[in-house]
Amino acid sequence: MASSSEAFEKFSTWKNAKTSLKVTVIIKGKTDDVLVGWKIFGVDSDASQIGFFNPSVMHSSVVFDVEDSTFSIEPSRLVATRNESDWIIFEESED
């Protein structure tokens, strides 16, 4: 388990480095969406939100709310878990 401040530090590091990420959204134990090659444009730890855009797709953006999540941080991956069946997995990708 990592603190939310550690998680938002990792998000900020990825944002500043312009790291491409693969984001996998799991809802009720099933993969709901997979976003590949997305980059972070905004990190708001007070609102528990992270904004992403896809540089390959014009006008693409999505904001993830990770409020009330627990975090697991690895060197190239971060998992935000709300409960045993709802997760968001953020992983570094090659694009």
pLDDT value at position 19?
97
Domains, the chain, with CATH or none: 4-92 (2.70.180)
Residues whose CB falls within 8 Å of the CB of residue 88, separated by 6 or more in sequence, listed in order: 23, 24, 25, 26, 64, 66, 69, 79, 80
Report whether pLDDT(7) > 90: yes
The count of other CB atoms within 10 Å of the CB of residue 38 is 23
**Against a cut of 0.85, is the pTM above it?**
yes
User: For tokens 């944002």, what's the residue?
Assistant: 15
3-state helix, strand, coil in the chain (%, to 5): 15, 55, 30
The string of pLDDT tens digits covering residues 35-92 is 999 999 999 999 999 999 999 888 899 999 999 999 999 999 999 999 999 999 999 9
